[in-house]
Amino acid sequence: MRNPRIFMPVLLQIALCSFSLLASEPVTAARASVAPVIDGRLDDVAWKTALKFTDFKTFKPDYGKEPGQKSEAYFLFDAENFYIAFRCYDTDPGGIKANISKRDAMFADDYVAFFLDTFSDGQNAYVLLINPLGIQGDGLMNAVGNLEPSMDFVWYSKGQIDDQGYSVECRIPLQSLRFSSKKTVIMGMAFIRQIIRTSESSSFPALFPDKGSLITQLQPVSITGLKYNRVVEVLPALTHSTRLAIQDGALRRDVQQTDFSLTAKVGLTSDLTADATYNPDFSQVESDAGQVDFNIRFALYYPEKRPFFLEGLEYFQFAGNTEEAPLAAIVYTRNIIDPSFGLKGTGKLGSKNTIAAIYARDDLPGDAVDRYPDFGIVRFRHSLRDDSYIGGFYTSRFQGSGFNQVAGSDGRFRLTGASVAEYHLFGSFTRDSGEGSTVNGHVLGLRYNYGTRSVYMDVGIQDISKYFQVDTGFITRTGISRFAPLIIYKFYPKSGFFQRIEPFYWGELIYDKFYGTFETINVFVLRFMLPRNSMFRVDGLLGNEVYVGRKFSLDGYRFRLETQLTKHFSLQGQFRRGGSIYYDPANPYQGYGNQAQLLAEFQPLEKFSFGLSYTYIDFYRKSDRSRVYDYGIIRSRNTFQVNKYLFVRAIFEYNRFYRRLTTDGLISFTYIPGTVVHVGYGSAYEKLGWDGREYIESRRFLETQRGFFFKVSYLWRW
C-alpha cells in the first residue's frame, strides 16, 4: 500500500475503537468442493455453501447504526486458498465511485475491506481492500492500532458494477499468509465497506470504541484442514541507469551502471520466514515529493519505499508514543543508505512470541576507511491477554571503532474495554570513531488512552536525556521532558449536513534540559465531519518554543478543509498564519508568516487522473516587518492507467526557492508484487546561463541533469 492518504482517516477511526475480548463464539467455515472462478460475479455454486455475513453496522460517522446501503460478505476456503466475496447493493449505482488505477491507488474510491488475524492473538491483522472494479490495496495493522501501509501481498481480485450496485471476488493463496500449522485454527475476520458520497463506513462484526481495538473485535472463524506448503521465493532484478550532469555548460555522462540483485525467501515454518539479499535493489521508481527544506529545526522525514525493508516493517513500531512525539521511530531504515547485502527473519515462535531481525552492511560513498557500517536490529514481542503485549528492542550501528547501540522494552496493557496503558524505555550507548569514552542516554515514554462514542482522550509523558542517540531511528529533539494531553468530545447532531462535531484540545508542556526553560503549546480546535468524505476544522494556537535558550512566540490560527466535491474531483487545503522562528544558532530571531498547502485531484475518466499540489511558506522579521524569504513548490502528477497492470505517468515539479524544475516520466508494468518492468526518464532544469567561464543567473531554464533507468524483476514462487 503505497499511498494511504485518503484511507488513513478511516483507519484512524477504526483504530480509535480500542479493546475487546473476542466475545463472539467461533463460526465454522465451509470448505469449497469446487473453487469459485474469480471474475467479479457471484454466480458460482460454491458461494451458496459459503459463510455469509449480512448484519453490517456503521462505525462512521456514528457507531452501531443501520447502514444506508445493504451489504453481504462471503468466506470460503480450500487446502491452498481463501476466497472472499462481497455483494454491495446500492440504490444509486451511478453514484458509485470507482476508477481503474494501479495497485494501492484506489483509496479515494468506494471500497470493501477484509481484515484477517490469522493467529487470533489480537496483535496483527492483514488488511486487504478492493474497489468496485477489483483494484487492490493492502497493508498490515498491529496491536497498537497503527497501519503499516507499505506491505504488498500476492492475491487476486476482480470486481464489477451492475444496476444493483457492485460485487467483488478475491482469492488469497495461503502462501501469502502466515498461520498456525494446527489441524484446526481459529482466525479473526472483519468485513468493511466504505461509501464516499455519504461518508459512511460499516462493518461486520459491529465495531465499538469502548469494546477494544479493532483486531480483538474480529469475528472468530474455525477452519479445519489448511495445507501448509513451504514457501520458497526467488526474486532476481536487473537495473540499468544512466545519468548526465552539466559540466562547463554542457551535459556530459556522469554515471552509468548496471546492477544485478538477488533476493530469496524461505518459509522455515508456516509462521516464520527468512530472507536474504545480495546487492539488493533499493531503487525508487518515483522521486520523493519536494518538501520545504529551508529554515527547519530538524531533518525531514521521508517514507521508506525500498522493497526489502518494507515487508515486516510493522514489527518495529513501538508503544508509548503520542501525537508529535520527538522519537518518531526506533527503526527508520532509510538510515541504511546503500547496503551491499542484508539478512532478515520475521515471524512467530510458538503461539505467543513474535520476533523480527535485520542485518545489513551499508556501502557509503567515497574512499573512507570506515565506509562499511554494519546495522543490526532485533525485535521481540510476547502477547498477553487481548491486545496486550510486552516486548524488547535491540538496535546497533558499528562503523570502525565507533558504535551506537540502543536496547530497551515497550509494552501495551488493556485496562478496560475503553482504556489502555503503554510504555517504552530505551537506553543508548554511543562512541564516536576514534573516541575513547562512551556516552549514554535514555528515553522514557508513558501513555494512557481512553475512548468511547462521545469522548477520546490520549495523555503522554516523555523524558529524553540530552545525549540519547539512535542511529537506526528518527528523533527530532533530545534533552527534554514532555507532557502531551489530547481530549476530543464528539457530538452527533441530527442534521443531515453535520454528521459529527468535535471540539478538542491538544497541548504540550516541555521542559528544555539544556537551558532550564519551559515551553508550551495549546491548540484549540473545532472540527466538523460532513458528507462527501468532507472535513473542515478551525484551529487556534497559543504557544512558544525554546531555541538556543530563547523563547519565541508561535501564536496563530489555521484553517483546514478536505472534501470529495464531486465524483471526479477532490480537494484538500490548509492555511496557517502565526509566529515562527528563524533557526540560526548564532542569531535566531522572532518572525511571523503564512503557510499554505493545496492538493487537487481530478479524475475525469476511469483511466485518467491529474493531481496538482502547491506548498507555500513565507517568513517576515517581526522587528521591521521585512520579508526574509518565501518558498513555493508546485507539483503536477498525471497518470494514464492503461489497465490495472500498466500505467504511464508524468510528474512536473517547480521549486521557486531554488528556481529548479524537475520532470519525471515513468512507464510501469506490475503483474504481481515482485514481477515488474519499469522504464523511467528524468531531467532537472535551473534558471542559469553559461557565459563561457561561469554560471550566471538567467530567466531561461538550463538543463543541468538528465537520467534514464530500466528495471525488470520476476518473482519465482513455489
List, in sequence order, every residue forming a beta bridge with 577; answer none if it has no partner.
557, 594
Predicted confidence at residue 285, as pLDDT, reads 64
Interior/surface letters 13-34, b for 16+ CB within 10 angstroms, e for the rest = bbbbbbbbebeeebeebbebee
The more confident residue out of 230 and 413 is: 413
Predicted confidence at residue 5, as pLDDT, reads 37
Q: Which three cell numbers stand for residue 193?
A: 465497506
**pLDDT at residue 100 above 70?**
yes
Average pLDDT over residues 575-588: 97
Distance CA 583, CA 502 (A): 34
* pLDDT digits 0-9 by tens, 256-280: 999 999 999 999 988 899 999 998 8
Comparing CA positions, the residue from 424, 394, 428 lying closest to residue 322 is: 424
Q: Which three cell numbers stand for residue 99?
A: 476508477
Predicted confidence at residue 294, as pLDDT, reads 85
Neighbours of 476 (CB within 10 A): 13
| Lowest-confidence region among 312-316, 470-474, 544-548, 616-620 | 312-316
Average pLDDT over residues 619-631: 97
* pLDDT digits 0-9 by tens, 644-677: 999 999 999 999 999 999 999 999 999 999 899 9
The stretches of 230-323 forming alpha helices (DSSP H) are 307-310
Predicted confidence at residue 350, as pLDDT, reads 86
> How many Cα atoms sit within 13 Å of 455 on the Cβ side?
7
Average pLDDT over residues 89-109: 93
Average pLDDT over residues 487-506: 94
Distance CA 208, CA 217 (A): 9
Per DSSP, the three-state class of 48 is helix
Q: In this structure, are residues 47 and 32 in contact, taking their beta carbons and an 8 Å threshold? A: no
The more confident residue out of 425 and 317 is: 425
> Per-residue confidence at 315, pLDDT binned at 50, 70, 90?
confident
Predicted confidence at residue 369, as pLDDT, reads 65
The distance in angstroms from the start CA to the end CA of the chain is 24
* pLDDT digits 0-9 by tens, 194-241: 999 999 999 999 999 999 888 999 999 999 999 888 889 999 999 999
Comparing CA positions, the residue from 673, 702, 674, 670 lying closest to residue 686 is: 702
Q: In this structure, are residues 256 and 242 in contact, taking their beta carbons and an 8 Å threshold? A: yes
Question: What is the total residue count of the chain?
Answer: 718
Angstrom CA distances, 562 to 292, 491, 597, 604, stand at 22, 20, 12, 19
Give the percent of the chain with pLDDT over 90.
77
Q: Which amino acid is at 298?
A: F
The more confident residue out of 290 and 104 is: 104
Predicted confidence at residue 304, as pLDDT, reads 80
**pLDDT at residue 453 above 70?**
yes
> Per-residue confidence at 323, pLDDT binned at 50, 70, 90?
confident
Average pLDDT over residues 44-56: 96
Average pLDDT across the chain, whole number: 91
**What is the Cα 201 distance to its own chain's centre?**
20
Cβ burial of 464 (10 Å; 0-12, 13-18, 19+) is: buried
DSSP letter, residue 200: E
> Per-residue confidence at 14, pLDDT binned at 50, 70, 90?
very low
pTM for the whole structure: 0.89
Q: In this structure, are residues 502 and 489 in contact, taking their beta carbons and an 8 Å threshold? A: yes
Per DSSP, the three-state class of 33 is coil
> Per-residue confidence at 145, pLDDT binned at 50, 70, 90?
low
* pLDDT digits 0-9 by tens, 378-397: 999 999 988 999 999 999 99
Structural domains of the chain ordered from first start: 8-224 (2.60.40.1190), 271-282+293-431+466-480 (no CATH)
**pLDDT at residue 343 above 90?**
yes
Angstrom CA distances, 199 to 64, 67, 137, 488, 492, stand at 15, 11, 19, 20, 14
Q: Could you write out the DSSP letters of every residue in 449-474?
A: EEE-SSEEEEEEEEEE-TT---TTSE
The more confident residue out of 582 and 108 is: 582
Average pLDDT over residues 575-597: 97
> How many Cα atoms sit within 13 Å of 290 on the Cβ side?
28
Distance CA 148, CA 142 (A): 8
Angle at 325 between CA 323 and CA 330, to 5 degrees: 120
Comparing CA positions, the residue from 44, 25, 26 lying closest to residue 36 is: 44
Q: Which three cell numbers stand for residue 254?
A: 556522469
Q: In this structure, are residues 430 and 404 in contact, taking their beta carbons and an 8 Å threshold? A: yes
Distance CA 32, CA 40 (A): 17
Average pLDDT over residues 106-132: 94
**pLDDT at residue 19 above 90?**
no
Give the percent of the chain with pLDDT over 70.
94
* pLDDT digits 0-9 by tens, 156-176: 999 999 999 999 999 999 999
